[in-house]
A and B are shown apart, each in its own frame.
Chain A
Amino acid sequence: MSDLRVNFLGKTLAGPVVAASGTFGFGEEYAAIEDLSLLGGISGKGLTLNGQPGNKGERLLETPSGLMNSIGLQNPGVDHFIQHELPVMKRLGTTAWANLGGHSVEEYCEGARRLSETDVDFIELNISCPNVKQGGLAYGIHCADASGVVAAVRKCCTKPLVVKLSPQAEDIAEMSKAVEAAGADAISLCNTFQACAIDLEKRRPVFDNIFAGLSGPAVRPIALRMVWQAVGAVQIPVVGLGGILTGRDALEFIMAGATLVQVGTANFMDPGACARITREIGAWMDAHGVATLDEVRGCAR
């Protein structure tokens, strides 16, 4: 039997698959659907310090092999999360990741400070949400902006810090190096790809913000290319995500050098996707005589 465990930033995770932020709530809804103890972790819905209601208008649109969303970081706020959602998350038998967005460096720092005082396992800093007008992606395009917010958060964050990158970054390898130098313990990529759709009958963009984030199998080969570039650029662990639907997809990211993978849109195509993908990875390893993921991690390079 293959051993799916992964050592990640000082913790031993049960498997290499983490549920991606924004696609899994805070995990509770999936407890009756799949065995969450197989998962490496759950990254909760993206938080902002004070919470926000999210975007108006259309929020979802299906595309060929993809999904566009414009949720706009709807969330209950960091304090509500700490009081209500985190205790439930901690009982789900896997690691709890707090995904933190923000509108200013101060807001990011205050959120990270408050989360550092809890028993959350990891903080995933979201500098890559394409769906809020200020913040989020504003820090994720230029290396200097990203470096500034990560360095500031690092000073007040005592938890392992994963920085989630945007495919909109001007140069993904340089961006990866910049956040590593600023103190990130790991990076995760990619968040959604900025995209657009037009409603012909209304002769207007489908989404109120004009642009929305594209995810799903449509983006997978591009995300894999970026993960390959990031792995080549940094020494810290890389968490790969973007359109993973099967164990084979996940293994591509791992062979490109990813330490962990995240699964997002696939949860909507199959609510048991995270556990299924974990089992498929194990089955592939068994069939190929691979005992641990270290044997294949980065092997394609």
Chain B
Amino acid sequence: MSATSCNVRVLRQKALAPDIRRLTVALPQEGPMPHAGQFYMLRAWAASESPLLSRPISVHDVDEQERTLTFLYQIKGEGTQKLAHLAWGQTLTLTGPCGNGFDAAAAAKAGKVAVVGGGIGTAPLLLLCKELSAAGCRPDLMVGFRDKVYGLEAFEPYCAKIDIATDTGAVGHHGLVTDLLDPAAYGLVLTCGPGVMMRGVAKLCQAAGTPCLASLENKMACGLGACLGCTCHTKVGPKTVCKDGPVFPAEEVFEL
């Protein structure tokens, strides 16, 4: 299942928070159907224009009937600022789908599943919950945000329950999302968020003997496994986050 590169049309873009955007484009005609945990390399500027590299953004949602592909991303630098200026009818170059993603069908057989996200790390979790739900396993979702909570209404149809933690106490539990997780209650924990959060989740899971899969992020140049710029030194040797990952068994990638 190889990544391809093509131009697609922007259908809509919406601000969910001052620095958070939801971008929907036409689903590419060619190439494999993307699944949860995979990402695309996005480029809305010419090859000769800055920034030099395309930006890896995970798939937030796919609607096969409407033929749409949605990304949720945070504006962080020059690349995402350019993405944020995209409006209806403009074109965007996509290379992908990239990466291994989550195997939702296998995960759904693990029993009760917890999905744990933090901040913009919740982006790939919507399609994950959707795929888990379609495979007959409505997961429990635990999400942590700094202050403002965004995008959660979309998760509601696919999750058994949604628990929220915020650093400021603005919404839900005043504290860390890891405070909400009791891994002993689950057959599998799937997580995406800041490294320190995922490491915390992985530690709890290890103590409880619950398997945990974590979706990592890194700077990358090619997104295809060619440049080795995003290598992560795991306990089973060097792995590319872009092609071998981004989803790895947590105990292989975190010092616990």
Contact = CB atoms under 8 A, between A and B. Distances in A.
Contact of A59 (B31, B95, B225, B229): B229
Interface in A64-92: 64-67, 69, 71, 74
Interface in B199-238: 219-222, 224-231, 233, 237-238
Contacts of A245: 47-48
Contacts of A60: 53, 219-221, 227, 229-230
A67 B48 CA distance: 13
Nearest to A24: B226
B224 A25 contact: yes
A53 interface: yes
A15 interface: no
Given A31-B2, A270-B47, A62 B228 contact: no
Size category of the binding interface on chain B: 20 to 34
A67 B53 contact: yes
Interface in B14-56: 31, 41, 47-48, 50-54
Contact of A74 (B31, B219, B231): B231
Interface of B, helix, strand, loop or mixed by DSSP: loop
A269 B51 CA distance: 9
Contacts of A273: 47
Interface string A18-54: 0000111100011111100000000001000000011
Contacts of B219: 58-60
B228 A71 contact: yes
A71 B229 contact: yes
A271 B222 contact: yes
B4 interface: yes
A236 B63 CA distance: 57
A22 B222 CA distance: 11
Interface in A254-277: 265-273
Interface string A260-301: 000001111111110000000000000000000000000000
A269 B47 contact: yes
A216 interface: yes
Contact of B52 (A45, A66, A246, A271): A66
A65 B224 contact: no
Contacts of A65: 50, 52
Size category of the binding interface on chain A: 35 or more
Nearest to A52: B238
A29 B48 contact: no
A22 B48 contact: no
Contact of B226 (A25, A56, A66, A216): A25
Contacts of B4: 32-33
A251 to B, nearest CB: 16
B233 A56 contact: yes
A247 interface: no
Nearest to A27: B226
Contacts of B51: 62
Interface of A: 22-25, 29-34, 45, 53-54, 56, 58-60, 62-67, 69, 71, 74, 216-217, 245-246, 265-273
10 contacts: A29-B222, A34-B5, A58-B219, A59-B219, A59-B228, A67-B221, A71-B228, A268-B227, A269-B47, A270-B47
Interface of B: 2-5, 31, 41, 47-48, 50-54, 95, 219-222, 224-231, 233, 237-238, 243
Ranked nearest first, the 4 interchain pairs of A and B with the lowest CB-CB distance are A25-B226, A32-B2, A29-B224, A270-B47
